[in-house]
Structure 1
Amino acid sequence: MKKPIFAALLVLCAAAIAFAADPVEGYWVSINEEGKLTAGWHIYQKDGVLYGEILAAADEPRDKIATAVKESYKDFPVAGVVNKMPLVGTPWIWGLTSKTPGQWAGGNIIDPADGKIYKCKITFRKADGKKYKEDTLEMRGEIGMGIGRSQFWKKSTAEEIDNIK
């Protein structure tokens, strides 16, 4: 009698671990190199692929169209003319796959301010009280051969992002 119960508990624990949210998922605010908040993002998984959408952009109306981007991009996850899509709600990050929990790569990110596309890597950095005072996402955009730059985004909430003006 004890063996079936123990086996069932093991299966439930394994299922809970398998379906636990990755630490990169959730709400984040992008911070540029000057330390200025630029946007609020929602990072999420769909069918094992990671995506990111802007929910609010600093100093931009919520209905702004992303006219600075190109008409199309290879493998863009939404059908249609990209430079006629809204800045808010369009997946500017897409196609990343998990390497380990908290590390994603192999996808793309578009800077909607200028339309440039980069290979994207995302790494979750747990708050350690030293280098990382709070949970942080290292968002790395590369043009190739490891050449690129990183931004360090801060954990947020839907409510905080909703208050971005």
Structure 2
Amino acid sequence: MRKILTTALLALPLLAASLGASAADAAVGRWKTIDDKTGKVKSIVEIYPTTNGSLAGKVVEVLSSDRGPNPVCDKCDGERKNKPVKGMVILWGLKADGANEWAGGTILDPANGKTYKSKMELQAGGQKLDVSGCIAFICRAQTWQKE
């Protein structure tokens, strides 16, 4: 009996880790970002797990831009200044915050170079992702679609 109890206690952390991983796996993948005004697909963002257990996202394709086919982040500061938007990490530091929810991250808007506190929530059986960015109490949200 003692051996069974010890085995069960040792297996508990593994079970908890696998449940956390499966929740993050739901958001991992390629997502279509949608233009708020036109409703057209603007880009493809790939969300991936990082080594510290958080989620991050980078632009893997720019499909529509008012700044040409290969836009750069000319309004960004620091290391992102004048770098191509394609390949740029625009979402980072998101940690699980409940079932199918992540918070505590940062999102960059390459159009204006500003960063915002970010959170996201999986919707519609995993086919839509509500992504929001906030400064103080002013927030902007988008719904991304699974590719």
Give 2:31's aligned residue: 28
Question: RMSD value over aligned CA atoms?
Answer: 2.5
1:153 maps to 2:147: no
Q: Does 1:67 align with 2:69?
A: no
Match of 2:136 in 1: 144
Gaps of 5+ in 2: none
Alignment of 1:24-63 (within 5 A): 24-34=27-37, 35-46=39-50, 47-59=52-64, 61=69
* Separation in structure 2 between the aligned mates of residue 125 and residue 154 of structure 1, nearest angstrom: 10
* Separation (CA, whole Å) in 1 of partners of 2:57 and 2:123: 18
Equivalent pairs, count = 135
TM (norm. structure 2) is: 0.77
The percent of aligned pairs where both chains have the same amino acid is 32
> Deviations along 1:10-57, whole A, 9 cap, x unmatched?
939825434325222111000122311110010111121111100001
- Which 4+ stretches in 1 moved above 3 angstroms? 10-13
Q: How far 1:107 sits from its partner (Å)?
A: 1.4
Pair 16,49 (structure 1): closer, same or farther in 2 beyond 3 Å: closer
What is the CA-CA distance between 1:65 and the residue it aligns to? 5.6
Whether contact under 8 Å (1:31, 1:153) holds in the other structure is yes
Higher relative contact order (CA 8 A, sep 6+): 1
Match for residue 96 of structure 1?
94
**Aligned pair in 2 of structure 1 residues 70, 56: CA closer, same or farther (>3 Å)?**
same
Q: Is the 8 A contact 2:74 2:82 kept in 1?
A: no
Q: Which residue identity does 2:114 align to in structure 1?
A: K
- Distance in 2 (alpha carbons) for counterparts of 1:54 and 1:140: 17
Which structure has more helix as a fraction of its residues?
A: 2
